[in-house]
Amino acid sequence: MSHLIAPSVLAADFANLQRDIEMINESNADWFHIDIMDGVFVPNISFGMPIMAAMKKHTKKPMDVHLMIVNPDQYIKTFKKIGADILTVHYEACTHLHRTLQAIKAEGMKAGVALNPHTPIHLLEDVIKDIDLVCIMSVNPGFGGQSFIENTYVKVKQLKALITTKGASTLIEIDGGVNIYNAKALTEAGADVLVAGSFVFKADDPVVTIKELKAV
């Protein structure tokens, strides 16, 4: 399959959110990537359930929800109710990851696991077949507009090898610092989904930028 593009709504103009959602609907983008931050797991607060529920009224593409929060288990049912199609939790925030993944799937959502830059791939060996998507953080989570961490390429290759060895069908998603200059190298290393925030929303023509990212 061709790689997927998931614009990160964190970089959108919050005062014109419906306009930016409609732009993504009309573009070549595949998913909406939505970062939920609690100010505890990461040093930033983004937006919560009411905003996401309002967004759902306008989105025409799957909602890829990335929980950068502590205790994600207590909100699994809530995020299903307000429209999440894919729910990603952080490995570092889950004491009982296997249980959390099963709880997400029980609600009918795809289950994702995010890894911070310092977290090694091999920690997913025993659960990779239970994971629909692994989100490799290519910046330190919490803020948009950060520089891409070069070691990400190594982690993508390691993850691709693990998925192949275990016979899993897990997708590899890259989140942070993605642009037209590294997108091709990421997909060649094995990435299936590219999350792009500032690079899309700060572009002169975001629709064209999304098309270019899709075409690499």
Catalytic residues: 35, 175
Token output for 128: 């990779």
- Reported as half-sphere exposure (CB side, CA atoms, 13 A), residue 137 has a value of 25
**Which has the closest alpha carbon to 11: 40, 49, 39, 47?**
47
Q: 133-137 and 110-115 as β-strands: parallel, antiparallel, unpaired? A: parallel
Is the backbone of residue 145 left (phi > 0), alpha (psi -120 to 50) or beta? left
Residue type present at position 65: V
Torsion angle defined by CA atoms of residues 134, 135, 138 and 143, in that order, rounded to the nearest 10 degrees: -160
Token output for 157: 């290759």
